[in-house]
Amino acid sequence: MAEAPRIAIDAMGGDDGLAVMLAGVALARQQWPGLTFDLVGDETALKSALDQHSNLRAASDVIHAPETIDGSERAGQAIRRAKSTSMGLAIDAVKQGRAGAAVSAGNTGALMAMAKLALRTMPGIDRPALAALLPSLGDHDFVMLDLGANTECDTRNLVEFAIMGAAYSRIALGIERPRVSLLNIGTEDQKGTEEIRDAAAALRASDHLHMAFDGFIEGDKIARGLTDVVVCDGFSGNISLKTMEGTARFVTDLLRRAFTSSIRSKFGFLISRPATELMRHHLDPDNHNGAVFLGLNGVVVKSHGSASPKGVANAVGVAAKLVDANITQRISDDLALIKANGK
C-alpha cells in the first residue's frame, strides 16, 4: 500500500462487543502496520481497553458515541439515532472523508440503511449489493452477490451486480478477467425468469467489459471452482449463503460425531488429523469474514457478529484492500464502458 488507509471502526458492534473488536483491530494493525483507525464508541470504555493494545494507541483516534444499535433494532428506528450511535458515526467518518472505509459487526439491516442514506449510491448504480468471498474447491475463493440487500432485482440490477462483482474479484482475487455466472435453476438458455435471461443476453453482448461471462450456473456447482463471480438476487443469495453455512456445520459436526463414536474411530481421527485440520481451515468462516456493500460512494464492510478477533482482522483487511485499490473508481470505469458502448 502506498499510503495505508484510515479505517473507521464501530467498536461497540458485534455479539461480544468492544473486547473482540479491539483485539481484531490490534491484530489487523500487526498484519498491516501502516493502517490507522478511528475507534468509535464509548470514550471511557475505549480508552480503558486501549491499555491492553499498545500498538493501537498511536495509530488510533477515539470518537465518542454515546449510543449503540441493538441487534434487533429496526432499520428505520436506527436511522433516526444515527448521529449519536457508534455505527452511524463510523459511517459518517467515511462520508466526511476522514476515513476511507467503515467496518461494523452490528445489525446488518441498520448498517445497510445508514450507509445507503449517508453515502448514497454511485452514479449509474440503481441499488447497492452485499458481496462476500466464499470458499470453493478451486485454486481460490469466489465472489457472490447479492447476499441479502435486495430481495427482488430486475435485469439492470443483475447486470450492475455482475460489473461490481467482477471489479471486486479483480481486487480481492487478483484475476484480470474474472469468470462471471448468473445463478439459475438450469444452464439452458430458456431456463429462469425473464429478468435473468435478459441479464444474460446483456452480459453476453458486453464483451468489452473486464470479465468473461460464462452463462448460468446451478446451486450445486457454485463452490466447485467453475466460476469466479456468482450473481443473483438477494433473496436467492441469502438462502444460498445460509444453506452453505449450514451444510458446512453439518459436515463438521457429523465428522466429529463419527470420530468420537468408538476407540477405533478415535485412532482414525489421529491418523487423518492433518486432512481434517486442512478442511477446518478451508471452511473457517473467520478466514472469509468481511462482506462489503458495493455500489456506494464509499466502502462499508460488514463483519459477522460472532467473528473472533481473527475474523475481525480479516474484515479490516478487506476494507483496507478495497480502499487501497479504489473499488469505487474501478466500478465507475466499467460503468463508463457500458455507457460508451451503448449497452
The predicted-structure confidence for 294-326, as pLDDT tens digits, reads as follows 999 999 999 988 889 999 999 999 999 999 999
154 and 26 within one domain: no
| Exposed / middle / buried, residue 220 (Cβ in 10 Å: 0-12, 13-18, 19+) | exposed
Summarize pLDDT for 186-227 with one digit per residue, the tens: 999 899 999 999 999 999 998 888 899 999 999 999 999 999
| 178-187, 239-248, 315-324: least confident range | 239-248
Nine-digit cell string for 275: 486432512
Look at residue 343 and tell me whether its pLDDT is greater than 60.
no
Summarize pLDDT for 247-306 with one digit per residue, the tens: 888 887 887 787 787 787 777 667 766 666 666 665 666 788 889 999 999 999 999 888
273 and 148 within one domain: yes
144 and 110 within one domain: no
Q: Is residue 259 part of a domain?
A: yes
Look at residue 91 and tell me whether its pLDDT is greater than 60.
yes
How much of the chain, in percent, has pLDDT values that exceed 70? 94
Q: Please answer whether residues 106 and 71 qualify as being in contact, where contact means their C-beta atoms are separated by less than 8 angstroms.
A: yes
| 70-84, 112-126, 222-236: least confident range | 70-84
Report the C-alpha gap between 312 and 290 in whole angstroms.
Answer: 8
| 6-10, 40-44, 82-86, 267-271: least confident range | 267-271
**What is the band of 1 on the pLDDT scale with cuts at 50, 70, 90?**
very low
Question: Residue 302 sits in which domain range?
Answer: 1-125+295-321
Look at residue 180 and tell me whether its pLDDT is greater than 90.
yes
Chain center to CA of 135: 13
Q: Is residue 227 part of a domain?
A: yes
121 and 39 within one domain: yes
Report the C-alpha gap between 62 and 332 in whole angstroms.
Answer: 33
121 and 98 within one domain: yes
Compute how many other C-beta atoms are within 10 angstroms of the C-beta atom of residue 17. 19
Query: What is the model's pLDDT at position 95?
Result: 96
284 and 304 within one domain: no
Residue 146 neighbours by CB under 8 Å, 6+ apart: 129, 130, 131, 153, 161, 231, 232, 233, 234, 237
Q: Is residue 206 part of a domain?
A: yes
Q: Where is the domain boundary, 242, 274, 289? A: 289
Give the max Cα distance, the chain.
68
Q: How many domains does the chain have?
A: 2
Q: Please answer whether residues 234 and 129 qualify as being in contact, where contact means their C-beta atoms are separated by less than 8 angstroms.
A: yes
The dihedral through the CA atoms of 104, 284, 20, 34 has a sign that is negative
**What is the band of 338 on the pLDDT scale with cuts at 50, 70, 90?**
confident
**Cα dist. 134→17, 19, 182, 237 in Å?**
25, 26, 16, 12
Q: Is residue 107 part of a domain?
A: yes
215 and 274 within one domain: yes
β-strand 129-134 against 291-294: which pairing, if any? antiparallel
Q: Is residue 219 part of a domain?
A: yes
20 and 34 within one domain: yes
Report the C-alpha gap between 173 and 115 in whole angstroms.
Answer: 25
301 and 183 within one domain: no
Q: Is residue 331 part of a domain?
A: no
Q: What's the CATH code of the domain at 222? A: 3.40.718.10
Q: Nearest-CA neighbor of 243 among 144, 313, 140?
A: 144
16 and 111 within one domain: yes
Report the C-alpha gap between 202 and 179 in whole angstroms.
Answer: 15
Query: What is the model's pLDDT at position 12?
Result: 92
Q: Where is the domain boundary, 272, 289, 306? A: 289
Please compute the mean of the pLDDT values over residues 154-173 and round it to a whole number: 95
Query: What is the model's pLDDT at position 280?
Result: 62
302 and 197 within one domain: no
Look at residue 238 and tell me whether its pLDDT is greater than 80.
yes
Query: What is the model's pLDDT at position 201?
Result: 95
Q: Is residue 335 part of a domain?
A: no
Query: What is the model's pLDDT at position 103?
Result: 96
